[in-house]
Structure 1
Amino acid sequence: MHTRTWLCWLVAAAAIATLAPHPLYHILLMLAVTYVFVARRDDRPLARSFSLFARAGAIIWLGYVIFAVVTVGGPRGATVLVTLPAFQLPVWLGGIVFGGPITAEALAWGATRGLGLWTLLLIFGAFNALVDHHRLLRLAPRSLFHAGLAVTIAIAFAPGLVQAIQDITAAQRARGYRFGSLRSWWALAGPLLAGSLERALQLAEALEARGYGRTLTPRPDTGRLLALLAGLSSLAGALIGWLWAGPATLPVVAPLGIAGLLLTGWAAHRLSRHVPRTTYWRERWHRHDTIACAAAGLGLAAVAAMRLLEPTALVYYPFPTIIAPSFDLRVGAAILLLAAPALPLRAPLPRRARRINADRRAARQTAAQQGAFAD
């Protein structure tokens, strides 16, 4: 699939996970993302990084649950499950209270918050495992090529780390080494650290050999650079204002964010005109990409409309008394639209393959006609 299709899918999935902080919707979204990964995965080392993101999300979710029920500092909720001995830290350490009454509401709140982060990690893990990072780098604006290269190297860190761990583990086990206590895992940590440093040096030498950072650049355009900084500052201000004050500031931060986005896009486009770039091979946009992007956009639009019209239907809040979470079939159907990339649609053949097939069909028809004439 096209790289822009995966970007559209990533934005839609992450936005839906943010707009609908509900455990049932998050579980359905995790199932849809996992189904897309299983249907689209290949044999590249990048595909192995999905399990790493899944395990990290499970650890974060467990940590949220533990801290939500242990560091409550007092009764939160009406359904008390068990009462633990309370212990309060000194004031200079924050005065946090460990223990006390553990309620079902606090447990549900911690599980819901941790599940949201787990869902986001699964979404980014699937994107990291399915997208081609080299094609992703080509989509970066030419003026932001250096930042795009740094981001691409950072994204490729997870699959490279997984591959290195598997190689080192297999090599140690082939030598008869067995991992048991914590001290025995130094046989993995030492070679992993040395291999990471060696790969970093090889990457630096490769960039140096290709003349990275030594190209002649024209005189910087101060006005457009200031416009780019102003646009990014407006976006950051709108995001901070919305996170700090909540949805009540939406009429104020929305115009600021839109203006910052437009100014950033215009400045990046104008600055990119001074940076030459050639393309050896361009990706082709197929019918499957159109269907996947349309489904992701439709699902995001439906969830956003539900958030504006019925905001309480997408949010689960277990306080003051825990209740069973409700489920809206309309939201569930919108989330299932994100599984469109996994549909088994047949991709169109390249032009050369279509021409070869047409020639073969014509040859078979000619042979059949000659055989009928001979009879």
Structure 2
Amino acid sequence: MTTAFSWLAWLLAGIIILLTTRNPLLLLLILILLLALGVRMTEPGNRKRWLRQNLSFIGTMLFLSSLINFIFTHSGNTALFSLPDNWFLIGGKFTLESLLHGTINGLVISSLYLTFTLFNKALSVEQLTHLIPTAFYPLTLITTISLTFFPSIQERTAQIKEAQMIRGNPMKKLSDWLPILIPLMVTSLENAVQLAESMTARGFQVQDEGQNSPKALILLILSTFLVFSGWLLSLFSYPTWVSWALYLIAFLIIALIFLTLSKKVHIVHLHKDQWQKSDIFAIILFGLVFIFMAALIVSQNRDFLSFTPYPTLSFPTLPLAAWLLGLVPAIPLLLIPNHDHH
């Protein structure tokens, strides 16, 4: 897996799985596999540090999520202790079920965090910007500039600070940092002017009138109306498939708008992703998983992914289908190279 679209398919499949399950065993399996994938994608010398940092975040998230739900949610039959009911917010019984429910929420948040972390780790800035539709190429340009803004500011600040220390400025008090501001502002303005001149020379100030098509605006308003209508019908006793059909039509209209506008913009990418068999296999597989999960959501037939500790705590079960879905986020382990072999 080397292309941005294969990792995007992995991201979407992982998100829809994580957002539709509350089974703690499945969430724990996914979390462990995501950690294993992150270790695999990290350089051997940095693996311990990466694992330690993420385990620290996961532990903190699980603790806070469990504690907050344990304190403010007083549902369940397995009471550990209780406080007077007249105590504001925290009064009532403290149950084991509310503690486990908070832990499940922490597992979901931690898994989502790791999913986006690995997605960002797998792709370069250039690959991430390529995922933005060509119709929004100004947004891509602004995003690229923004991503390089803070590193360049830090680099110039370090250079100016080093020059000030060579001149005898101890840089210990707040007033010692004032001589840095003016050189930093001057160099930043110079770089901004140079960037503006370069963009003007390359024609970024030229706007194509064809891109401001009223048809695109009308279709966008229509798609918004379809989404609103689908949501409104879902509030009444209409079949679920009617709402999802309207959502699908709206999505297709928006995709058509992006495709039409993208064809009017001609951009040459100097570095293109090289598609491999593993990328095609990954996109097909993750696409099938996404369609399968969407079908489960529409049909409301996902009991094997559901679990609630209320009202009485019971041990969760994990059917074979849930096991197979839990292995989906770990598929890149089979499709990416190991850093140990480099």
Matched, 1:281 2:271: yes
More displaced, 291-300 or 327-336? 291-300
- Which amino acid is the alignment partner of residue 318 of structure 2? F
1:147 CA displacement: 3.4
Matches within 5 A, 1:1-375: 1-42=2-43, 55-72=56-73, 75-85=74-84, 88-89=87-88, 97-149=89-141, 207-211=195-199, 214-219=204-209, 220-231=212-223, 234-235=226-227, 250-301=240-291, 303=293, 308=299, 310-343=301-334
- Which amino acid is the alignment partner of residue 140 of structure 1? I
In the alignment, the residues of structure 2 paired with residue 291 and residue 247 of structure 1 have an alpha-carbon distance, to the nearest angstrom, of 40
SS in 1 for 2:90: strand
Check 1:202–1:83 CA distance in 2 against 1; reply closer, same or farther (3 A cut). farther
- Which amino acid is the alignment partner of residue 114 of structure 2? L
SS in 2 for 1:216: coil
Q: Does the 8 Å contact 1:5/1:289 carry over to 2?
A: yes
Check 1:62–1:250 CA distance in 2 against 1; reply closer, same or farther (3 A cut). farther
Check 1:251–1:236 CA distance in 2 against 1; reply closer, same or farther (3 A cut). same
In the alignment, the residues of structure 2 paired with residue 132 and residue 247 of structure 1 have an alpha-carbon distance, to the nearest angstrom, of 47
1:151 CA displacement: 5.6
In the alignment, the residues of structure 1 paired with residue 43 and residue 132 of structure 2 have an alpha-carbon distance, to the nearest angstrom, of 25
1:300 CA displacement: 4.0
In the alignment, the residues of structure 2 paired with residue 237 and residue 55 of structure 1 have an alpha-carbon distance, to the nearest angstrom, of 44
In the alignment, the residues of structure 2 paired with residue 204 and residue 237 of structure 1 have an alpha-carbon distance, to the nearest angstrom, of 46
Check 1:237–1:36 CA distance in 2 against 1; reply closer, same or farther (3 A cut). farther
- Which amino acid is the alignment partner of residue 106 of structure 2? G
1:56 CA displacement: 4.8
SS in 2 for 1:31: helix
Q: What percent of counterpart residues are identical?
A: 22
In the alignment, the residues of structure 1 paired with residue 303 and residue 229 of structure 2 have an alpha-carbon distance, to the nearest angstrom, of 27
Q: Does the 8 Å contact 1:295/1:337 carry over to 2?
A: no
Q: Does the 8 Å contact 1:54/1:125 carry over to 2?
A: no
Gaps of 5+ in 1: 90-96, 169-185, 348-375
SS in 2 for 1:98: coil
Q: How many residues align?
A: 306
**Cα shift readout 1:294-347 (whole Å, capped 9, x = no counterpart):** 343344455556664742211111111110111112221232133221216779
Q: Does the 8 Å contact 2:15/2:112 carry over to 1?
A: yes
1:14 CA displacement: 0.6
- Which amino acid is the alignment partner of residue 261 of structure 1? F
More displaced, 62-71 or 305-314? 305-314
SS in 2 for 1:77: coil
In the alignment, the residues of structure 1 paired with residue 319 and residue 303 of structure 2 have an alpha-carbon distance, to the nearest angstrom, of 11
Q: Does the 8 Å contact 2:75/2:98 carry over to 1?
A: yes
SS in 2 for 1:102: strand
In the alignment, the residues of structure 2 paired with residue 209 and residue 59 of structure 1 have an alpha-carbon distance, to the nearest angstrom, of 48
In the alignment, the residues of structure 1 paired with residue 50 and residue 194 of structure 2 have an alpha-carbon distance, to the nearest angstrom, of 24
In the alignment, the residues of structure 2 paired with residue 151 and residue 88 of structure 1 have an alpha-carbon distance, to the nearest angstrom, of 49
Gaps of 5+ in 2: 159-172
SS in 2 for 1:210: helix
Q: Does the 8 Å contact 1:50/1:122 carry over to 2?
A: no
Check 1:346–1:83 CA distance in 2 against 1; reply closer, same or farther (3 A cut). closer
TM-score (norm 2): 0.72
**Cα shift readout 1:93-141 (whole Å, capped 9, x = no counterpart):** xxxx114210111111111122212211111111111112212212322
In the alignment, the residues of structure 2 paired with residue 235 and residue 32 of structure 1 have an alpha-carbon distance, to the nearest angstrom, of 36
Check 1:122–1:200 CA distance in 2 against 1; reply closer, same or farther (3 A cut). farther
SS in 2 for 1:83: strand
